[in-house]
Amino acid sequence: MSPTSEPLLTYADGALVLSHRLSEWMSNAPTMEEDIALGNIALDLLGQARGLLQSLGDEDQLAYFREPQEFRNPLLCELPNGDFAHTMIRQLFADAWFAEVWPALVADESADAQVRGVAEKAVKENAYHWRHSSAWVIRLGDGTEESQRRTQDALDALWPYRGEVASDEWYARIEPVLDEATLTTPGRDAWTQRSSADGWHTEHLGYLLAEMQSLARAHPGATW
């Protein structure tokens, strides 16, 4: 895989891993509507991941037969769901990141036609994802004393993982939402976790991949 494909692998792996995380909410979300909403977002992300992986090589090989250290997703995407507030803050961060990723790929005239096609569709999908996560963060942060506390705790816990996705545009998108949610932002200069660009990940990715890859690895080459 060429060095120029590394950013695409980061986007693909981010969407793939986050999709799996969101799928863990199926039948566990606070309401039936959220079961459906999170499931649909997970499917959107899965479709985006598949489109990019197909442009990079063998889709199944890349998804199911790489080791954790070969994945390049931002650490943020692999973190456990936690409670609902934790999931919504994580999703807000990821949606703000993808809000930059997809338009940039659409505008990149040197990009592969398939990649640009994936990005064009993803721009529309991510607009819905952003509305969903930002509305929930505001609702939870500016809600009851309990929901505000949980959302602030989630923000404090996840803020160090912003380093791989944050930019000036990212902060400009995130900060007004957090302000409206009456949450206290730790600050742009606060400490950040190290990057996963060299294959370093949290312990959580290995467990996630063990579950996600188990069927393909148990029956390599199978089709159905």
Q: At what angle do helices 113-141 and 168-180 cross, to 10 degrees?
A: 30
Residue 126 forms part of a structural domain: yes
- How many domains does the chain fold into? 1
Tokens describing residue 6: 């590394």
How much is the pLDDT for 221? 82
- How far is Cα 15 from Cα 6, in angstroms, rounded to an integer? 14
Sequence-ordered list of residues with C-beta below 8 angstroms from that of 102, at least 6 positions apart, any chain: 119, 120, 122, 123, 126
Asked if residues 170 and 96 have their Cβ atoms less than 8 Å apart, the reply is yes
Q: Is the pLDDT of residue 2 over 60?
A: no
Q: pTM for this structure?
A: 0.94
**Dist. CA 73–CA 8, nearest whole Å:** 10
Position 138 in a domain: yes
Closest CA to 200 of 76, 62, 69, 16: 69
Domain contains 205: yes
For residue 224, tell me if it sits in a domain: no
Structural domain includes residue 143: yes
- Kindly tell me if the per-residue pLDDT of 224 is higher than 80: no
pLDDT tens profile 92-101: 999 999 999 9
CATH number of the domain bearing residue 85: 1.20.1260.10
Closest by Cα among 25, 26, 128 to 85: 25
The verdict on residue 112 lying in a domain is yes
3-state secondary structure of 76: helix
User: Does 223 fall in a domain?
Assistant: no
Q: Do residues 109 and 96 make contact, with C-beta atoms less than 8 angstroms apart?
A: no
The answer, yes or no, to whether residue 1 has pLDDT greater than 70, is no
